[in-house]
């Protein structure tokens, strides 16, 4: 059973921080910081040469421009961006200026303003040097835990009437020190949220976007839980081991801050759509491979809004075909046909349609698969499809 602690109202009524003056490149101080820096630099070298990193200069340039619009030109010069092919919703920034953006984040943001809010949040961790401060805090807390363990061991060794109380006290000290690590991380997240909102206030972006994003994150998690027949997460509580504030609390105080700002701005959706148009089909395929039917179906509906485009209809056909219930196959065939009405040149839609029809024992399957091979004669699966037709 999860241990739950009360979530403080960290940001309600708190003024936004004043943007700190840009101090330029930070150099590590002391042995601990230099050691941490060496490890992070080595991690960056390994990541730079990893096959998981998306090699697309245009996409990297676009993301760098978003960071610059969000936090300002002097600050963004120190950022090096790596896009990692991972369907999870995440981004992180190391203390040496390495910003890792996972493709699952790029798929889920509706507009550039939401993307800027998240990247600004990660840059805030960097500017506030949270990795370094957290590293030192963990060192202090683990030292306390270690000495408490020594005290407990000594009490058992030497016995005596106070041994039991000494052990109980040592365990309490260890638990308090351990809990302080996670509470400290949650406080850092709140500080990064506040500074990110300060960046948005100074930028051209609409600050209301950040809360909207977290609202959809909760809805997608609910959809995933329903599909897996699990309980919905309590978004108004924070577990003892949580490193982030409660999601509902976070969405609430971000919305309150945006309302208090009384600032409008651009959302930059057209720029985001243009930057992602070449990548979205691949990112949708990665999402479908997660085997999260309900969560993915919710995400596709959110991306579509009031207009289902050909790529989203095709992805939905793939999703339903992958689950493969008889009713799913009928639905999948309908989605493929709708995609082909908008994009008749989509050969893969004919492939998906033919496979769905074949599993439904529809005699029209062979014609659909022949259309696919006629449009893509050199397809890597052409031999397999030819065998299926025969």
Q: With contact defined as beta carbons under 8 Å apart, do 192 and 124 qualify?
A: yes
Tens digit of pLDDT for each residue in 223-250? 999 999 888 776 655 443 344 556 788 8
Pairwise pLDDT comparison (6 vs 302), residue with the higher score: 302
Size of the chain in residues:
390
Q: Is 246 exposed, middle or buried (0-12, 13-18, 19+ CB in 10 A)?
A: buried
172 band by pLDDT with thresholds 50, 70 and 90 = very low
Distance separating alpha carbons of residues 222 and 218, to the nearest angstrom: 6
Tens digit of pLDDT for each residue in 28-75? 777 777 777 788 889 899 999 999 999 999 999 999 999 999 999 888
Tens digit of pLDDT for each residue in 319-334? 999 999 999 999 999 9
> Does the pLDDT value for residue 205 go beyond 90?
yes
Q: With contact defined as beta carbons under 8 Å apart, do 319 and 291 qualify?
A: no
Angle (CA) 84 312 370, round 5°: 105
Computed over every residue of the chain, the mean pLDDT equals: 82
Distance separating alpha carbons of residues 63 and 56, to the nearest angstrom: 11
> Does the pLDDT value for residue 168 go beyond 90?
no
CATH number of 308-389: 1.25.40.10
**CA 13 remoteness from chain centre:** 28
Domain spans, the chain: 4-261, 308-389
H helical segments located in the chain: 30-48, 57-71, 73-76, 103-108, 112-127, 130-158, 163-202, 209-227, 247-261, 269-276, 280-288, 293-304, 310-323, 326-342, 347-359, 365-375, 382-389
């Amino acid at each position: 059973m999860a241990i739950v602690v009360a979530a403080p109202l960290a940001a309600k009524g708190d003024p936004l921080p004043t943007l700190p003056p840009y101090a330029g490149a930070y150099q590590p101080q002391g042995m601990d910081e230099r050691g941490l820096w060496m490890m992070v630099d080595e991690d960056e070298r390994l990541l730079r040469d990893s096959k998981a990193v998306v090699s697309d200069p245009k996409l990297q340039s676009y993301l760098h421009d978003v960071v610059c619009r969000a936090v300002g030109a002097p600050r963004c010069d120190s950022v090096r961006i790596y896009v990692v092919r991972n369907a999870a919703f995440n981004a992180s920034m190391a203390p040496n200026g390495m910003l890792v953006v996972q493709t699952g984040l790029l798929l889920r943001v509706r507009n550039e303003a939401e993307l800027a809010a998240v990247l600004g949040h990660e840059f805030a961790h960097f500017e506030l040097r949270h990795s370094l401060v957290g590293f030192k805090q963990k060192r202090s807390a683990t030292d306390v835990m270690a000495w408490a363990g020594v005290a407990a061991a000594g009490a058992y060794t030497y016995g005596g009437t106070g041994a039991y109380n000494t052990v109980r006290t040592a365990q309490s000290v260890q638990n308090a020190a351990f809990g302080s690590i996670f509470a400290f991380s949650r406080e850092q997240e709140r500080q990064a949220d506040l500074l990110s909102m300060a960046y948005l206030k100074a930028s051209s972006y609409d600050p209301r976007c950040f809360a909207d994003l977290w609202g959809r994150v909760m809805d997608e998690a609910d959809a995933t839980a329903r599909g897996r027949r699990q309980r919905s997460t309590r978004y108004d509580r924070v577990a003892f081991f949580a490193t982030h504030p409660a999601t509902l609390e976070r969405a609430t105080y971000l919305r309150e801050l945006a309302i208090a700002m009384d600032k409008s701005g651009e959302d930059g959706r057209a720029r985001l759509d243009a930057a992602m148009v070449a990548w979205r089909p691949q990112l949708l395929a990665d999402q479908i491979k997660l085997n999260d039917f309900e969560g993915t179906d919710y995400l596709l509906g959110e991306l579509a809004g009031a207009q289902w485009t050909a790529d989203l209809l095709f992805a939905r056909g793939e999703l339903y075909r992958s689950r493969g219930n008889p009713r799913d196959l009928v639905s999948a065939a309908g989605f493929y046909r709708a995609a082909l009405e908008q994009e008749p040149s989509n050969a893969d839609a004919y492939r998906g349609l033919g496979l769905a029809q074949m599993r439904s024992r529809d005699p029209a399957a062979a014609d659909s698969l022949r259309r696919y091979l006629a449009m893509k004669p050199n397809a890597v699966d052409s031999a397999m499809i030819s065998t299926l037709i025969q």
